[in-house]
Structure 1
């Protein structure tokens, strides 16, 4: 995954530790980074989820390290592909991500059905949240 930087160079996908308010450490946050001018930005697809997570952390957790990939389904898929993907593969990073999004959505739908069958509302809500993170990305990809 790449995009153009404001300096004109290409930005590459990477992952960073984000320290918020000097207290909260959020590791494995997907970012675009420019090697030429050292500019970086959080992937737009997960930025609102990161913001929401930071406000939740302030309410629940006094400090410590959190892995964003454990809190965000899309970031988890991107991180998994990033660690294993070989640039010489015939499949592009984006096509692998789309394929894995589809597979994960199907898995989560199956889990949702199981949670519904046993009447576990908390689990259903968690699965719904994860499904929305993926479906938002898939919908945006289809529109572009």
Structure 2
């Protein structure tokens, strides 16, 4: 499966651009990147409830999608490390940075900044949960 970013059209009225997806080598099967699937569903439900139409850039609305997109844009397939290994390393670094930001916001009693950082951390934690789930499934396939 290869990683790519696609335009998702929801009910013919909402376009969500830059959605990370996995696609098979032949291009016949697509799957939304598992760690962002729930966030994408929540966004679609929210946009539908608000009656929004038009185009939305997912990487501008989701921390994890933006993060994956930035790594994807700069990663070279010729690099020694795989994309997955680089994503794991960079996501750990980014989570640590967000935790530092949260600590700073907390020390300043800035609840708005704390809430924003907490939301960003929640989105980034999806990749950790997804990775842990995959590791368990590899160890115990039954």
Matches within 5 A, 1:67-78: 67-78=57-68
1:114 aligns with 2:138: no
Match of 2:83 in 1: 93
| CA distance in 2 between partners of 1:130 and 1:80 (Å) | 16
Structure 1 position 137, deviation (Å):
1.6
Count of aligned positions? 134
CA distance in 1, matches of 2:131, 2:29: 25
With the length of structure 2 as denominator, give the TM-score of the two structures. 0.83
Look up the match of 1:19.
9
Match of 1:58 in 2: 48
- Specify the alignment match of 1:3 in structure 2: none
What is the alpha-carbon root mean square deviation over aligned residues?
Answer: 1.8
| Aligned equivalent of 1:8 | none
Tell me, which stretches of 5 or more residues in structure 1 are unaligned? 1-10
CA distance in 2, matches of 1:116, 1:65: 35
Q: What residue is the counterpart of 1:34 in the other structure?
A: 24
